[in-house]
Structure 1
Amino acid sequence: MSNEELAYDFSPMIKVYKDGRVERLNDTDRVPPSTDPKTGVQSKDVVISQEPAISARLYIPKSTTTSAPQTKLPLLIYFHGGGFCVRSSSSAKYHSYLNALVSEANVVAVSVDYRLVPEHPLPAAYDDSWAALKWVASHSDGNGSEDWLNRFADFQRVFFAGNSAGANITHNMAVKLGCEGLVGVKLIGIVLEHPYFWGTEPVGEELTTPAAAREYMAGVWRFACPSTSGSDDPLINPAKDQKLGKLGCEKVLVCVAEKDVLKDRGWHYSETLKKSGWNGAVEVIEAAGEGHSFHLGDPTCDNAVAMKKKIVAFLN
């Protein structure tokens, strides 16, 4: 067997070879925490757990260091995207995105670094994310291990957000919180940026989606979650989730992009949520002419600026 034989090829994200080698494509742009020269946002990395290895990058806006002791700030917990298999909380695009968002929304943020597929198949990322949420919640009495959360975060104004696979995690964490509770935390809302949901039956314009694109979306899920029942697993298809109506927040913002193959899933999610018995408010915004995760690749384009404004308003 040549060592170039592929077991999985999910370009442009990841290739896995039959000899077990994993090649993450376009995933080398890691940056250290910093004080951002443009926004004055400070960040630092913290270890949440050694075994399993879970960490997070924390962000505080300039206002925490420049004004007198003030009222505490909303707390945003963010889950990065990358098909569950690439990227991290230190990826340059996510770091720069959160610097801007934290600055404009004037919030404290925790960007979770969960373990990746295929070394750690799902549900590892969900388990890690829930462990991170419990760690964050351990600061709600002001006596946690991390000073920034004790001093600056308002645990009665908590938001979850994420992009792509991270939006999938965001949704699933909000359902888990709604079912199990999270002591000391009041989840106000969630933001789903281009959420990675899927399903066996096409919705919306998916009937015209090329078969290869549909198979890619279904294939990434099977690769990430080998124990899955398939594309109608409630973890990837919320419309099949009996617990959807228990979503543990009062408002939801779904961001979709016109040219994203996942667009119709975002719309379908909002329609299903309205019928689920959940009594919150859900809104969908669609960016015309844009593709998946465009706001990370081109954060200063008009549509990305408009999307960020909408998210800032949602967090306030």
Structure 2
Amino acid sequence: MSAQTVPQPLVIDPFKLLHLTLNPDGTLSRNPAVYLTVEATPDPNHPTPVLSKDIPINPSKSTRARIYLPRQALDFLSPPATKLPLIVYYHGGGFILSSVDSIYCHDFCVNIAAEIPAVIVSTGYRLAPEHRLPAAYDDAVEALYSIKSSSEDWLVKYADFSNCFLMGTSAGGNIAYHAGLRAATVVDELLPLRIRGLILHQPFFSGVQRSGSELRNMNVPVFPLAVADMMWDLSLPAGADRDHEFCNPMVEGGSKLLVKVKSEGWRVVIIGCEGDLLVDRQKELVKLMEEKGVEVVGHFTVGGYHGVELLDVSRAKAMYVIIKDFLSSPKLATLA
């Protein structure tokens, strides 16, 4: 992209845009009237195709998870051979926003659970800047240990622990990646939970040097570059820049832990779109994984915007097909 075609950044106050106040002590005040939440529906008599219930992960950290169970499982899944795949999901929000009961996260998990079908465990984590990275990664891995030893009825009866995938959207995709790298080094400790792969939905990565898509899409209204930069400023360890390994997966030739992902035979799918300012970083990650010998495929569609599958029904349905094929196929060639 030539200097003549690079757009100039709009003057945007990301705090005002997101209805946030940065307090003098470095914490954030988040407007609850804007960030709506929804209660779980654990009652089997509730007329919903997917039931949900909350379970604690670590009360001392106030972390918890929400389990999503397709109603059909209650009628048809008595034999162990028919258990559903297990997806451990990490929500987005730039590491600073949202929770397992945020309405967009709840609805998204309901739809995935129904469409695949699968048992979804949407796990929460502590938010920045009150808890900067790697706190979210610590909580993400802690949730895996909690799930693997859980006696929760919905998990024991209906989830196939030997067929588990880590999935995340945006910042959650970043968390799924880094939690996955850690989990690949402790596979025996996580048994009977056996992770088979990663589903990275528009994962949140960046770097000090601007990518082409960051420059092209810097002023998109849904997720402008100024907001992304603010989120990294608030979530990275104090004093770190965007070339920290938490933010830029390409640093020093990529994580040495990818060799463990390869040796475990995990499969990875990265889903994005050209209208997202993050797309070039996601494509770089696909290439990096290919070079490391990881079985990976990238699915990048034209147009769109960051989080498009959370709002556009047709785009969401297309993504459900990709995920369903990914979970059921031993080879990624069918997704290409």
TM over 0.5: yes
Structure 2 SS opposite 1:9: helix
Match in the other structure for 2:99: 88
Which moved further from structure 2: 196-205 or 41-50? 196-205
Aligned Cα root-mean-square deviation (Å) = 2.5
Q: What is the Cα deviation at residue 201 of structure 1?
A: 3.0
Contact persistence 1:238–1:244 (CA under 8 A)? no
Contact persistence 2:27–2:129 (CA under 8 A)? no
Runs (5+) with no aligned partner, structure 2: 1-12, 329-336
1:198 to 1:114, Cα distance in 2 relative to 1, 3 A: same
Match of 1:59 among 62, 68, 76: 68
Q: Distance in 2 between matches of 1:154 and 1:265?
A: 33
Q: What is the Cα deviation at residue 263 of structure 1?
A: 0.8
Contact persistence 1:39–1:103 (CA under 8 A)? no
Q: What is the Cα deviation at residue 205 of structure 1?
A: 4.1
Match of 1:78 among 89, 94, 116: 89
Report % sequence identity.
32
Q: Distance in 1 between matches of 2:36 and 2:250?
A: 35
Match in the other structure for 1:109: 120
Matched, 1:242 2:256: yes
1:23 to 1:309, Cα distance in 2 relative to 1, 3 A: same
Letter in 2 for 1:289: G
1:188 to 1:220, Cα distance in 2 relative to 1, 3 A: same
Q: What is the Cα deviation at residue 30 of structure 1?
A: 0.4
Q: Distance in 2 between matches of 1:96 and 1:118?
A: 26
Runs (5+) with no aligned partner, structure 1: 1-6, 139-143
Equivalent runs, 1:290-305 vs 2, <5 Å = 290-298=304-312, 300=313, 302-305=314-317
Matched, 1:31 2:14: no
Q: What is the Cα deviation at residue 176 of structure 1?
A: 0.5
Q: Distance in 1 between matches of 2:28 and 2:214?
A: 31
Q: Distance in 2 between matches of 1:91 and 1:13?
A: 16
Q: Report the TM-score when normalising by structure 1.
A: 0.86
Q: Distance in 1 between matches of 2:140 and 2:212?
A: 31
Q: Distance in 1 between matches of 2:315 and 2:21?
A: 32
Q: Distance in 2 between matches of 1:216 and 1:267?
A: 21
Q: Distance in 1 between matches of 2:109 and 2:241?
A: 33
Match in the other structure for 1:265: 281
Q: What is the Cα deviation at residue 196 of structure 1?
A: 0.3
Structure 1 SS opposite 2:61: coil
Letter in 1 for 2:248: N
Matched, 1:255 2:271: yes
Q: Distance in 1 between matches of 2:241 and 2:248?
A: 9
Matched, 1:176 2:192: no
Q: What is the Cα deviation at residue 39 of structure 1?
A: 5.4
Structure 1 SS opposite 2:185: helix
Q: Distance in 1 between matches of 2:136 and 2:316?
A: 27
Equivalent runs, 1:196-211 vs 2, <5 Å = 196-206=204-214, 208=216, 210=218
Letter in 1 for 2:135: A
Letter in 2 for 1:275: E
Q: What is the Cα deviation at residue 150 of structure 1?
A: 1.2
Contact persistence 2:216–2:277 (CA under 8 A)? no
1:21 to 1:168, Cα distance in 2 relative to 1, 3 A: closer
Q: Distance in 2 between matches of 1:281 and 1:130?
A: 22
Matched, 1:160 2:166: yes
Q: Distance in 2 between matches of 1:290 and 1:211?
A: 14
Contact persistence 1:39–1:100 (CA under 8 A)? no
1:10 to 1:184, Cα distance in 2 relative to 1, 3 A: farther
Structure 2 SS opposite 1:45: strand
Q: Report the TM-score when normalising by structure 2.
A: 0.81
